Amino acid sequence: MVFVTTFAVMMEIETALIFEKNAIPQGTVAWQSPSNIALVKYWGKKEHQIPCNASVSFTLDKSVSKTTVHYTPSDSQAFQLAFYLDGERNEKFEKKISMFFQSILHLQPFLNQLSFTIHSSNTFPHSAGIASSASGMSALALCLCQIEQNHFQTLTNTDTFLRKASTLARLGSGSACRSVYGGLVVWGETSACPQSANKYAVPLTENVHPVFHDYCDTILIIDAGQKSVSSRAGHELMHTNPFAVSRFRQASENMEILLKAISGGDLDTFIRITESEALTLHAMMMTSEPSYMLMRPNTIQVIERIRAFRSETGIPVCFTLDAGPNVHTLYPAIHKKEVLSFIKNELIIYLYNSLMIEDGTGNGPKNLDV
């Protein structure tokens, strides 16, 4: 008994979160959660998804995952699960979610008493090549917190609820922890944001200039194929990247500079840092061992056109990239008309099936009626 207690304390197991044997419940919960786009990038991690540097992102509005979790008592001593994407059973994601559940059992041991049927769908097209792990894992983490709250009432306080959801989401996919909040969100300890933490994200509620309240992000789909190297493998390669240490130092300096620019509405600095971060992320891929590239020729074409358009017109539009070839075009809402017409006239030829998503900063996840 002493050993069990000591073990539980060492593992920080939430022993209170276990159902009485004869009172294992059933029910259904559902959440929708958005994707996010990082400005200062998280690239490189330590054990337990602790980031090597702090990051900051915009939570998106229209690019969301909707997830419904139906649970019943498990007929074994461990959780069981079936996962459906757009109504079709998906074993690849089922394995991923199974690993995710394993990694959070110490935080929600009651999972092992349940059997889950999970249905998820994304509002953005499958073929868009947009990563759904941030929106998908955050929606799932919110559902699990909803189950905890419904049966144990441990997360009644909204801040506590969201913090736990962010902590769980981080263990599913690092960047997912930022999708739990709307607007600008910081993840990873940084002196630029005193309340920041490595285990969960925090929303940037103060010191945000109004220009960033409704910033636009038009996502230009350059290539919709599967990435040749996954983000998981990419993070791993940072352990041997010769530039890793300087990159982590640069990211921490960029956090200071960018958060100041966000507070003061300094768009020149915002653009300089955001674009440099995007290119540095891809430079890390190109300098990994083995090296690889996720940008496509049309990614470069679009980047060059955006820079030329900015210098010709003075309109503060810039780009950022995720770990893939697609280009996120970022600009203040007052320039929406001119930027959209520039995209439709000049950039459309570089896009896969003329595909783009007119998105922007959103308010974060929503609990759905079931």
* Least distance to ligand PMV, CB of residue 174, Å: 4
Written as one string, the DSSP assignment of 259-287 is HHHHHHT-HHHHHHHHHHHHHHHHHHHHT
The residues pairing with 33 across neighbouring beta strands, listed in sequence order, are 65
* Binding-residue pattern over the window 269 to 298 for ligand PMV, x denoting contact by CB under 6 A: ------------x-----------------
- Binding segment for ligand PMV among 35-43, 210-218, 283-291, 310-318 (CB under 6 A)? 35-43
* Least distance to ligand PMV, CB of residue 72, Å: 31
Among 31, 33, 41, 302, binds ligand PMV (CB under 6 A): 41
- Residues 43-82, interacting with ligand PMV (CB under 6 A): 43, 55
DSSP at 11 = T
Residue count at the site for ligand PMV (CB under 6 A)?
A: 14
**Cis before 290? omega within 30:** yes
Kindly tell me which of 37 and 111 has the beta carbon lying closer to ligand PMV.
Answer: 37
* Least distance to ligand PMV, CB of residue 213, Å: 21
Residue with structure tokens 């285990």?
Answer: 199
Kindly tell me which of 166 and 173 has the beta carbon lying closer to ligand PMV.
Answer: 173
Q: Quick one: which of 105, 143, 75 has its CA closest to 15?
A: 105
How far, in Å, CA of 66 to CA of 138, rounded? 10
Kindly tell me which of 70 and 328 has the beta carbon lying closer to ligand PMV.
Answer: 328
Which residues are within 8 A (CB) of 218 and not within 5 positions of it... i.e. 6 or more apart? 328, 329, 331, 339, 340, 343, 356, 357, 358, 359
Among 29, 30, 38, 180, binds ligand PMV (CB under 6 A): 38
Written as one string, the DSSP assignment of 44-55 is -EEGGGEESS-E
Among 115, 146, 231, 254, binds ligand PMV (CB under 6 A): 231
Q: Are strands 27-40 and 55-73 parallel, antiparallel or unpaired?
A: antiparallel
Among 175, 241, 288, 329, binds ligand PMV (CB under 6 A): 175
Among 67, 122, 133, 329, binds ligand PMV (CB under 6 A): 133
Kindly tell me which of 70 and 96 has the beta carbon lying closer to ligand PMV.
Answer: 96
DSSP at 323 = S
Kindly tell me which of 173 and 190 has the beta carbon lying closer to ligand PMV.
Answer: 173
- Residues 304-333, interacting with ligand PMV (CB under 6 A): 322-323
Q: What's the CA angle centered on 216, arms 286 and 329, to 5 degrees?
A: 30
- Binding segment for ligand PMV among 40-48, 243-251, 266-274, 295-303 (CB under 6 A)? 40-48
- Binding segment for ligand PMV among 39-47, 84-92, 244-252, 326-334 (CB under 6 A)? 39-47
Q: Say whether 1 sits in a helix, a strand or coil.
A: coil
The dihedral sign for the CA sequence 353, 310, 216, 327: positive
Instruction: Give yes or no for residue 167 binding ligand PMV (CB under 6 A).
Output: no
- Binding segment for ligand PMV among 34-42, 154-162, 208-216, 220-228 (CB under 6 A)? 34-42
- Binding segment for ligand PMV among 154-162, 169-177, 216-224, 282-290 (CB under 6 A)? 169-177
Q: Say whether 9 sits in a helix, a strand or coil.
A: helix
Helix H, strand E, coil C: the string for 115-179 is EEEEEEEECCCHHHCCCCHHHHHHHHHHHHHHHHHHHHCCCCCHHHHHHHHHHHHHHHCHHHHHH
* Least distance to ligand PMV, CB of residue 188, Å: 9
Kindly tell me which of 55 and 115 has the beta carbon lying closer to ligand PMV.
Answer: 55
Kindly tell me which of 306 and 323 has the beta carbon lying closer to ligand PMV.
Answer: 323
The count of C-alpha atoms lying within 13 angstroms of the C-alpha of 124, restricted to the half-sphere facing its C-beta, is 29
DSSP at 187 = E
User: CA end-to-end span of the chain, whole Å?
Assistant: 41
Kindly tell me which of 164 and 235 has the beta carbon lying closer to ligand PMV.
Answer: 235
Q: Quick one: which of 256, 250, 259, 249 has its CA closest to 279?
A: 250
**Contact footprint for ligand PMV (CB under 6 A):** 38, 41-43, 55, 133, 173-175, 231, 235, 281, 322-323
